[in-house]
Chains A and B, each alone.
Chain A
């Protein structure tokens, strides 16, 4: 049985030992300064970036609305831009923000690439990493905990304190749990300021009108890191207990850090990339092109698919020429063409996304062998800066693109004279400019909370598993541990 009074005693003892040396305060000050720097630069960057994007969204819209009366197909090509808005939790965890494009041009017939990621405009130094609050918690804080805790049991063993403690009636369980809790307490000293900064940023800068479940997300992130810090604290104490001397304990902990933080995540992603190769852009595009030609090429005057379509439309309306139809036939053909090519693109794009998902799954499921990956993934997903949030943006943009193209095709069918067979030039066959305003602007909605949870489900499972493993290992070590 564990006596809670004893557990508390060991926790306080570790706390006291850790916070006595002057170096602790030096370390703490450095960490807080880093936190302040990371917070200021990420809040600043977040605001600047979102302002730039919102500003350009407005500018792009203004030019759209400023168009005079014209042929709707011209408007379908005039198109518009979708700018990706970074979620408010992006100030905490940049996630993929710097590696995903933020601007896509939306027009009829064409699915353009999402351009201008930070990485495109950066030198190779970006790959060293980015200083975010999440990085401090995921990468630096564990190291600090290792530095503080590596000798906590090993040193007691070396100087004989352990023997005395155990002979006076303390149990290994009490020592291990007590010290783990003590170390967790120390980690809170580092963790709470960061958590407070994010909360305050929410209150000060956050646009409260946006329904993005930010508080729930923050709560999950908060609990996630708490669990993570517990796992790291327990791990430190376990390694310290099972090492013969403090030096070995430190070397082992550093080895673990290097393996779990640097090598494993990098190799996991590299393996995913190796097993599920991404096709080249040309292969991707030409596969769509080939299939589109098979399905029917609206540009080819002798295309059987469109000839058949024309004949059936003519028969249905009981006329012999397309110019006698009650609507503009060219608009009709374009609507049909857009439908076919969009579906094709969607199908191929879904395949591509599946390849990416397969690549990423290697990393995702490595959460079950790597708690550092687990928290990294959870944090990114809940911050809305992960892969699925980016794909969600692409999807929203493409859906808008399709609606825009089809709205213009329908305007053409309705308002352009059936006698106008083709071409969109000139001032005679036009649609009133009031229609441009009617079609509302693109606005990037944050990823829904339920989708994020779905995405995070395996990660949450692995987090729970890690807590259980940490408990199990503490118990296991307490049975095996030797005092000498």
Chain B
């Protein structure tokens, strides 16, 4: 016990260590503030849409009471992706993807990928959120605290003394590392506690999982530095080697993998779908009305009772045409879905062997800010769109007046992010990576 106390004293007596510890706590707090700002902005957007929607319907009902078809040409219905406070820790894809979608009952494909207002420079620079601090900066701190724990002793000549006096030299190194590990654990938990209170995160399994993953990630970096230390090279060599590893793992690997994925799986399907939905709807203005309505009834046989009005403009034909925008672009849309899934799968597979990429993707999934969950939200928006269509189609076709509908029921709806959290799938790769590093260190560690 006394040895540990001494090790701790030895570790924190240097000014640089204090400065770097304070710096990382400060950066963690900045990350939390940035995450909080992100959440506030989303909450504000949600509040705005809540107050807007009622007014929006009032106006259009009063303008087009006797023309429901026209009203629904304009009416927007909000569908909100419910916020998870954990998104404040790992903003992930939530900055590029909208949290609120407002859709009309017209062709869904024409609205599906509409973006929010985003400044591309903000996206490119990336978010300095807590996940960034943990994934990028903690490893650097670990390197700074550990790269010379043995070489320092050899370089100052104290190593021989240790070699004689310590019961086990390996034990000596491990205890020194453990002290630093516990110190960083304490810092990490402190930062998470601050986050908990600032972002009002409930103490639940997901939050604990995030902490657990972060701890494992820190352990991984410790095992990695342990591996390097056992070579017993000079401080300079250790620092260079560890930093090169950091550069390769944190910057070059992910960047190279992104380059691979984007050139291997381009997404022309997105552009083809956009053209197909446009042509699917608009060309119907010139083709046989009967054929369009017939196709519409094939999709919705339950509406056959509304007959085949082909004289001039009518809303049944109009919405049948709009429906064709979705129906005729189905092949392209499915190809697009496939491609997106393929991209995500490939990315996940490769990431599982690169701890930092793996942790980022795991964080995003736990926080509900991953690409997969965004696609799920879009799918749910599609289902919401379908529900609206099925509700309004018969009322439009029957020529009902807008005031016969209870518009108060159309408050913005919320989508609960489907929890796709798979703790073992997240924990195992990190655990394996650490074990691998320990195994690799054994041959050299025996001889220290």
Contacts and interface: CB of A to CB of B under 8 A. Distances in A.
A and B bind? yes
A99 B351 contact: no
Given A56-B268, A103-B271, A140-B247, A129 B254 contact: yes
Contacts, number: 256
Chain A interface size band reads 35 or more
Contacts of B421: none
Interface in A267-307: 267-270, 272-274, 277-284, 286, 299-300
B168 interface: no
Contacts of A140: 247, 251-252
B260 A96 contact: no
Contacts of B128: 263, 266-267, 270
A401 to B, nearest CB: 14
Interface string B350-393: 01000011001101100001111000000000000000000000
Interface string A244-283: 0011001100100010001101111110111001111111
B184 to A, nearest CB: 18
Contacts of B45: 280-282
A13 interface: no
B347 A125 contact: yes
Contacts of A415: none
Interface string B255-283: 11111111100111011101100110011
A280 B259 contact: no
A83 B397 CA distance: 38
A254 B97 CA distance: 35
B259 A130 contact: yes
A442 to B, nearest CB: 14
B30 A267 contact: yes
A60 B240 CA distance: 54
Contact of A363 (B121, B247, B254, B282): B121
Contacts of A160: none
Contacts of B132: 266
B120 A99 contact: yes
Give chain B's interface residue range (CB within 8 Å of chain A). Answer: 35 or more
B34 interface: yes
Given A105-B274, A125-B257, A139 B343 contact: no
A128 B117 contact: no
CB-based closest 4 A-B pairs: A128-B254, A131-B255, A269-B125, A280-B45
Given A45-B266, A122-B343, A387-B121, 7 more contacts: A79-B278, A115-B113, A121-B267, A122-B261, A266-B126, A274-B34, A281-B100
Given A60-B275, A387-B120, A121 B136 contact: no
A98 B263 CA distance: 12
B96 A123 contact: no
A390 interface: yes
B285 interface: yes
Interface of A: 34, 37-38, 41-42, 44-45, 48-49, 52-53, 55-56, 59-60, 63, 67-68, 70, 74, 77-79, 81, 83, 95-96, 98-103, 105, 112-131, 135, 139-140, 143, 147, 151, 246-247, 250-251, 254, 258, 262-263, 265-270, 272-274, 277-284, 286, 299-300, 352, 355-356, 359-360, 363, 387, 390, 423, 425-426
Interface string B46-85: 0011001000000000010000000000000000000000
Contacts of A247: 235-236, 239
Contacts of A360: 119, 121
A265 to B, nearest CB: 6
Contacts of A113: 114-115
Contacts of A250: 236, 239-240
Contacts of A81: 271, 274-275, 278
Given A116-B267, A265-B125, A267-B30, A77 B100 contact: no
A320 to B, nearest CB: 27
Interface in B227-256: 235-236, 239-240, 243, 247, 250-252, 254-256
B37 A274 contact: yes
A128 B258 contact: yes
A41 B115 CA distance: 28
Contacts of B243: 143, 254
Interface string B90-109: 10110011101010000000
B117 A125 contact: no
Given A48-B266, A121-B343, A282-B48, A359 B119 contact: yes
A53 B48 CA distance: 36
Contacts of A352: 117
Contacts of A124: 90, 92-93, 360-361, 363-364, 369-371
A356 to B, nearest CB: 4
B247 A120 contact: no
A36 to B, nearest CB: 12
22 contacts: A38-B259, A45-B259, A48-B263, A48-B266, A56-B272, A63-B279, A99-B123, A123-B347, A125-B361, A135-B255, A265-B125, A266-B125, A277-B41, A279-B117, A280-B44, A280-B48, A281-B116, A282-B52, A286-B52, A352-B117, A360-B121, A387-B121
A95 B90 CA distance: 24
Contacts of B371: 121-124
B263 A278 contact: no
B124 interface: yes
B312 interface: yes
A31 to B, nearest CB: 11
B348 interface: yes
Contact of A127 (B63, B126, B261, B270): B126
A56 B276 CA distance: 11
B190 interface: no
B125 A115 contact: no
A130 B48 contact: no
A390 to B, nearest CB: 6
Nearest to B55: A286
Contacts of B250: 128
Given A103-B271, A270-B34, A300-B63, A34 B48 contact: no
A307 B326 CA distance: 38
B343 A63 contact: no
Contacts of B44: 280
A103 B115 contact: no
A374 to B, nearest CB: 15
A271 to B, nearest CB: 10
A435 to B, nearest CB: 15
B113 A125 contact: no
B170 interface: no
Nearest to B360: A124
Contacts of B282: 74, 77-78
A277 B363 CA distance: 26
A131 B45 CA distance: 35
Contact of B271 (A56, A118, A274, A284): A56
B118 interface: yes
Contacts of B278: 60, 63, 78-79, 81, 105
B369 A284 contact: no
A286 to B, nearest CB: 6
Contact of A52 (B63, B268, B286, B313): B268
B313 A425 contact: yes
